[in-house]
Structure 1
Amino acid sequence: MSATIKDVAKMAGVAVSTVSYALNNSPKISEETRRKVVRAAEALNFRPSGAARNLKKRKSETIGLFLNDLGGPFYSQVIEGVQEIVASHDYNLIVCSTYGGENSSAHRFLREKFVDGAIIMGTAISDSLILQVASESFPIVVLDRELRGDYVHNVLITNEQGGYDAVAHLIKLGRRNIEFLSGPSAAFDNTQRYEGYKRALLEHDLPVPKRIAMHGRFLEAGGYQAVKLLLASKRLPDAIFAANDEMAIGAIRALHEAGLRVPEDIAIVGFDNINLAPLIRPALSTIGHSKFEVGAIATQLVFNARKEEDVIILPTQLIARQSCGFSGGVSEQDHDNLVASILHVGGRTKH
């Protein structure tokens, strides 16, 4: 049977509260008493309860990562970046889905502050709740979302420029009828990528479609169904810019099933450079960014706990592969070298 704090108090000849003060280096206790308590604790091989210690400090030593969806290939690298920094601080990580709305575990953890800080990716948690709970003892970082407030920080990527680069590359390759394959219309990253799409068309004197013809919900199945519907309408573009890679992969499958060739008949560019992107056939051209670094920087901002908001903007880069017909751009190897250099020097834009 392990020793208790009462055993230590009895051996040291002091009150239980004195043992607690001494083991937490309180200035209320003299150095002589502290040494006496420490000797008794060592003799009894006493180890304070982690739960009790955390209750005393009113800290859980846990960071919460709250995502709209725990599935799919995108989030794993973000989680890895978060986990590395959390572990380096000897903290724990809880990852929760916001599925279930206000009754979800993520919402409950925020409202009741069961964790010491939060990283939020997605729109299911409202701005008002974030601003209500953020404080010096509970800093929050939002990813791919703009929100200003005390102890609320932002980590973004150059979504608009990435969308522009994808479409400008397709135009450079001679494509003129380029459709946008949209994710959720209210999503910040989707909106920014669409703005880049429009800017590229306008700068090259190409018409912007009056409405978005395809909505894929950021899912492979959604991209597949959206392109199937487009094909049924007999309105064939010569290129598609998909707002994420999962939708682009679904689009390629739908085109192959219809007997169309990629990129000869319809070129495709995605966004995110997920691990599957270079493995499908044809290999997917995409806009790459370091998802690991997004997670790592966001977590470090939680630990910094500054009142004034930080806005960190990380770069994106075109990665040209076979799905658009390779011509210029950045090769996969060049992109990997770029990401490695960013991680090495911590390169980022801060506003």
Structure 2
Amino acid sequence: MAATIKDVAKMAGVAVSTVSYALNNSPKISEETRKKVIRAAEELSYRPSGAARNLKKRKSETIGLFLNDLGGPFYSQVIEGVQEVVASHDYNLIVCSTYGGENSSANRFLREKFVDGAIIMGTAIPDSLILQVAAESFPIVVLDRELKSDYVHSVLITNEQGAYDAVTHLIKLGRRRIEFLSGPLAAYDNSKRYDGYKRALTEHSLHVPPKISLQGRYLEAGGYQTVKVMMACKRLPDAIFAANDEMAIGAMRALREGGIRVPEDVAVVGFDNISFGPFVRPSLTTIGHSKYEMGAIATQLVFNVQKEENSILLPTQLVIRQSCGFKGTHNENEESYIFHEGRRNQG
């Protein structure tokens, strides 16, 4: 059985508090007493609890990454970017789901500051809690979420422009009845992508639906079920712009099962450029951005909260594959094209 601090105190003939002072090099005790305590600790092979040391220092040397969902291909690249920067600072990383609302581990860790800094993606942790904790000089960075505060940094992507580029591409291919397959209505990124969708339709004098009629979760099942319902209502657009790739892939599966050809009958475009987008059939046209860079930059901000920029905006790119059709010469052996700032690069 491992020795305890009480065992050390007994062997050294001092109080437990004196052992604590001695092991933390406190000036409150004499050098003679400190040496006596250390000798006893060495003889008993006593090792102070890491948790106790961190509690005393009020420093856990751990960064918290709080996500709405721990599954899916999107988050793995974000986590990779966070982990690399955390490790370079000799810190630890804890990743928590915000599932459970106010009683979730993520909310508790943030409220009680069990970590030294937090990176938050998703809407399950309320603005009020984030602002309250950040105002207490606690470093917080939010991903793809905007908070009006001098204390909270954010890393955003060009959601609105990315969506605009996706829908404009569909319009250039001759698509006119373009539906928006929405994710959670309250999500910041979903809202911005909807704005880009509407702007593209408006600028090309196309009908903008008065309300969102296709709405699901940011999951393949969400896209699949929503499009199944749409087909049952005998309402078929000639293109679908999905707010993320997983829903787009679910939508394509539903269309295929209903005998609808993609892209011949209905073109489909997603958002996020997840890792298996090139491998579905037809391969998925999407809006790409660097999930790894998003995570890495957010973590750098956590370690450098004095940085002047309150928000950092990362670019998106249109990645053209087969799910929307391809106007012009297309080599089937080439997996995709990336369009960015008017240039085309094989990617």
TM-score interval, smaller chain: 0.7 to 0.9
- Residue of structure 2 in register with 1:256 after alignment: 256
- Residue of structure 2 in register with 1:303 after alignment: 303
- Indicate whether 1:235 and 2:235 are aligned: yes
Q: If the length of structure 1 is used for normalisation, what is the TM-score?
A: 0.83
Q: If the length of structure 2 is used for normalisation, what is the TM-score?
A: 0.84
Any stretches of 5+ residues in structure 1 without a counterpart? 339-351
Q: Residue 52 of structure 1: CA displacement? A: 3.1
Q: Residue 255 of structure 1: CA displacement? A: 0.8
- Residue of structure 2 in register with 1:189 after alignment: 189
Alignment of 1:116-135 (within 5 A): 116-135=116-135
- Residue of structure 2 in register with 1:74 after alignment: 74
Alignment of 1:103-142 (within 5 A): 103-135=103-135, 137-142=137-142
Query: Is 1:320–1:327's contact at 8 Å kept on the other side of the alignment?
Result: no
Query: Is 2:301–2:307's contact at 8 Å kept on the other side of the alignment?
Result: no
| SS in structure 1 at match of 2:114 | coil
Superposed CA RMSD in Å reads 3.2
Report the residue type matching 1:70 in the other structure. Answer: L
Q: Residue 97 of structure 1: CA displacement? A: 1.2
Any stretches of 5+ residues in structure 2 without a counterpart? 13-17, 329-333, 342-347
**Alpha-carbon spacing, 1:88–1:322, altered in 2? closer, same or farther (3 Å):** same
Report the residue type matching 1:229 in the other structure. Answer: V
2: CA distance, partners of 1:74 / 1:17 = 46
Q: Residue 150 of structure 1: CA displacement? A: 3.7
- Residue of structure 2 in register with 1:87 after alignment: 87
- Residue of structure 2 in register with 1:180 after alignment: 180
Q: Residue 211 of structure 1: CA displacement? A: 1.9
Q: Residue 164 of structure 1: CA displacement? A: 0.2
| SS in structure 1 at match of 2:128 | helix
Query: Is 1:68–1:98's contact at 8 Å kept on the other side of the alignment?
Result: yes
**Alpha-carbon spacing, 1:95–1:43, altered in 2? closer, same or farther (3 Å):** closer
**Alpha-carbon spacing, 1:4–1:312, altered in 2? closer, same or farther (3 Å):** same
- Residue of structure 2 in register with 1:347 after alignment: none
Report the residue type matching 1:318 in the other structure. Answer: L
2: CA distance, partners of 1:249 / 1:303 = 37
Alignment of 1:22-41 (within 5 A): 22=25
Q: Residue 258 of structure 1: CA displacement? A: 1.2
Alignment of 1:140-155 (within 5 A): 140-155=140-155
Of 23, 29, 34, 1:20 maps to 23
**Alpha-carbon spacing, 1:129–1:43, altered in 2? closer, same or farther (3 Å):** closer
1: CA distance, partners of 2:337 / 2:321 = 12
- Residue of structure 1 in register with 2:160 after alignment: 160
| SS in structure 2 at match of 1:194 | helix
Report the residue type matching 2:70 in the other structure. Answer: L
| SS in structure 2 at match of 1:313 | strand
Q: Residue 17 of structure 1: CA displacement? A: 5.7
1: CA distance, partners of 2:151 / 2:321 = 41
Moved more, 68-77 or 190-199: 68-77
Query: Is 2:321–2:337's contact at 8 Å kept on the other side of the alignment?
Result: no
Q: Residue 335 of structure 1: CA displacement? A: 5.0
| SS in structure 1 at match of 2:323 | helix
Q: Residue 42 of structure 1: CA displacement? A: 12
**Alpha-carbon spacing, 1:61–1:332, altered in 2? closer, same or farther (3 Å):** farther
Deviation per CA, 1:74-106: give whole Å up to 9, x if none.
111111111111111111111111111111111
2: CA distance, partners of 1:217 / 1:333 = 27
